[in-house]
Structure 1
């Protein structure tokens, strides 16, 4: 692969937009605040923003600032609660908040 400014760091420019490695810190912070509902301004129609009960493994890692390996280690230590929704693994927001509160 020829090195260009787009892939100088060894990154494939075709990575999905959800990949944390392609996000800037500002984009990650904005995404995290949208996940946890810190922006409680009314949405269109006047309804308040919904706060999710569960988040994906990738989003949980983004919220906590840890990688997938560490996230799965926390699940193995029973410090985070993971559930399966079909084939998808999700982490409960309650367990994420409890983990942060115990720190």
Structure 2
């Protein structure tokens, strides 16, 4: 998310009052208005997104085994558009053990 509110204006931190203020973008970091500094990016606060291209097959499969259905779909899609490893494409999540025993037990 950008700190741009309206073209030419941003939300900046006033180091004198430690408040967020709406100021012209050219004030931020200038020698004329040194008290106005850019806000720290909130990207550091967000958890990193798992990128299958940065991991080997075993690491990706381990991640998928612990992931929910949406994350499995996202990672498999990223893999398909990236390296396209067939082992990852063929991954199917395990059925929960309680669901598996209910599905395999005979009904009376």
Q: TM tier, shorter chain? A: under 0.3
TM-score (norm: length of structure 1) = 0.22
More strand by proportion, 1 or 2? 2
TM-score (norm: length of structure 2) = 0.22
Higher relative contact order (CA 8 A, sep 6+): 1
Larger Rg, first or second structure (1 or 2): 2
